[in-house]
Every structure is written in C-alpha cells, then in structure tokens.
Amino acid sequence: MGNVYDSLKGSKIHIKLKAKSRKLVKANTNIRANSFQLFTFNRILPRNQSPFIPVQYLKLLRPHHWVKNLFLFIPLFFAGELFSLSVIRELIAAFFAFSLVASSVYIINDYKDIEADRRHPVKCKRPLASGAVSRPAALVFFVLCLGIGLALAWYVKPKFLFVVGIYFILNLFYSLGLKNISILDVIILSIGFVLRIRAGGIASDTAVSSWLVVMVFLLALFMAVAKRRDDVLIKHASGQEMRKASKGYNMDFMNVVLALLSAVIIVCYLMYTLDPVTIERFRTYRLYYTTLFVIAGLLRYLQITYVDNNTGSPTKILYKDRFIQLTIALWILSFYVIIYLPANKSFFD
C-alpha cells in the first residue's frame, strides 16, 4: 500500500487526496469547536431556558391570579357606592398595589418550591420549575414587584400599606414553611382574602360588615380545601406527595369538610340577607332572593370537585367554566337591581 502511495506522489490524484484530507481535518476541527460552544452554552443556560422570554417573565407574576384582588371592590359594592369615580380611582391604584405585592409572594413561593413543582404534572410548566426563568432573574423581579407594590400602597393610604404589609409577611411565612402544616395552610390562604376585603374597605373608606368577613373567609376556605383535595387525588394516582401538608389529608376528610363548609356558607349568607341590620342598611328585605345564585354556584363547584375531580386551580375554573360565570353575573345583576335601582324593587314583590 505504501508503494502505491509513493508512486502517486506528485500526481494529480495525490494532490486531490491531500486537499480532501485537509478539508476533512478542518471539518472535524469545526465540529469539535461547535460541540465545545454548545457544551459551554448548556453550562451557562439550562435546557429549555432562554436569556429573555417576556411571556415567561409575565407568567412568573401570575397575572391570571390578579382576579382575586377584585375582592378589594366588594366593600364598595355592598355599600351601594360603586359609581363614585374618585373612590374607584383609589381602588384601581389599590388593586395594582395589592397585585404586585401578591406577585412578589408568588415568585418567592415558586422559588422555594422549584424541586417540588418539577414533580407536579401541571406546576412543572411554571417558569422557574421548567427553567425558562433563572433564579437570579426571579429574585430581581421579586424586589421590583415588592418595591413598586409597597410604594403604590403607601400612595393609596398608610393604613392600606399596613394591611398589605401584613398580607406579605403572613404569606412569606406561609411560603417558608407554614404551608407544610395541614389545616393551617388552608386557613392562611383564607385569611388572605379577608385581608383583601379589609384593604378594600380602608382604600374606599367603607365600613366592612362582620357578616361579609365571615362569608368571604368561609368561601375562600371552601375553595382552598377543594384545591387540596386535588393534591390528594394526584397523590393517589402517582404515589407521590405533591406537598408536605397533604400527609394530613385524605379523601374522606376533604369530602366531609367540603360538605360542611358548603352548608355553612349557604346558612350564613341566608342569615346575612335576613339580618335586621342588613335590611335596615339596604332598606329592603329582598336580598334573600340572591341566595338562589349562591346555592347554584356552590353546587356547580361541588360538581366540578366530585364529578370532574378538577379543582386544582380555582382561578382557571373561574375563567373557563361558563356556568360559574353565569351564576356570578346573575348574582351581581340581582344584587345591583335590588340595591342600586330602588324604583325596580317592585319587580321582586
């Protein structure tokens, strides 16, 4: 073979072979260089993570959860002053302040639960759990949301800032460990909605009824328990604990609690509408008609819980379920007609 190669030296064939050999060596070098660059890039950025994806950073704030902060408007609605433009402006600022602070809590919660969320069939798609947003970037967003939210809360009212601060501290402790204690975890989530009601009352200079506080707490507790029931279902299906607090729950317990809470909510709401103080305040005894829509909404939510086994995200249910949306709309409409349109009260007689 060597003799054949030597005999080709200086020939055109030999020159072509050498040229092809150089190209192969150069191509091999380029492949190794590209492989090194790819390896270096993967070392810098985890898989599925890009330097900056605006949509993923927006998801980190969970803006679809901001609908919860509409509870700030409830005291004004029940006070019959919903169309006071000056107060509405204050409440809009309060809404964004509370939403930004709540988003900062969501970021900390996701930061703390990265590993647990990666094992969850749905939460694994969250920006931090999926690697779409880096941990340092999440911390920067946390500081920005908290800073802007607290500054805006101070602009609304110092007392409003105080309530928002309590909400943040309570949920910070929740994210750092209290959420791992069964029963206490759902109670803290429910208190968060009570604080929203109180904050809305302060921002709008509206008195908050004790009945309203009780009903909001019970309704929030009902939805929180239904959400935890979804975690128990996932645990039974996959054999994995989605959260430590789930160890203190089972299906029998969750079902009994949901049935109990739904009954208590209906009774409390009916008592509220028939309370002499409520009748005197709104100058009508007809509010009990609105109980129909409360019962319908609760029954639909129980149907989603027990039949569909899909209550892991109350906000998604609110956005997607047409029956729930219809009952809420009809409840608001009936309440509006009774409170805001006294000339039409005869319609309910």
- Each residue's pLDDT tens digit, 268-302: 999 999 999 888 888 888 899 999 999 999 999 99
Is 229 part of a structural domain of the chain?
no
Look up the domain containing 152 and give its range: 53-208
Residue 203 sits in a domain whose CATH number is 1.10.357.140
Question: pLDDT tens, 84-116?
Answer: 788 899 999 999 999 999 999 988 888 887 777
**What mean pLDDT comes out for the span 125-141?**
79
Q: Whole-angstrom Cα distance, residue 241 to residue 254?
A: 16
DSSP letter, residue 45:
S
Cα–chain center distance at 15: 70
CB atoms within 10 A of CB 203: 28
- Collect contacts of 305-311 with beta carbons under 8 A, ≥24 apart: 305/226, 305/229, 305/258, 306/255, 309/230, 309/233, 310/230, 311/223, 311/226, 311/227, 311/229, 311/230
Residue 23: predicted pLDDT: 47
The model's confidence at residue 48, banded by pLDDT at 50, 70 and 90, is very low
pTM for this prediction: 0.78
Number of H helices, E strands in the chain: 16, 0
Is 295 part of a structural domain of the chain?
no
Q: Report the domain count for the chain.
A: 1
Is 335 part of a structural domain of the chain?
no
Is 23 part of a structural domain of the chain?
no
Is 90 part of a structural domain of the chain?
yes
Is 148 part of a structural domain of the chain?
yes
Question: pLDDT tens, 298-347?
Answer: 999 999 999 988 877 888 888 899 999 999 999 999 988 988 876 555 44
Is 144 part of a structural domain of the chain?
yes
Residue 311: predicted pLDDT: 75
Question: How much helix, strand and coil, in percent to the nearest 5, is found in the chain?
Answer: 85, 0, 15
Contacts of 159 (CB under 8 A, 6+ apart): 202
CB atoms within 10 A of CB 60: 23
Is 102 part of a structural domain of the chain?
yes
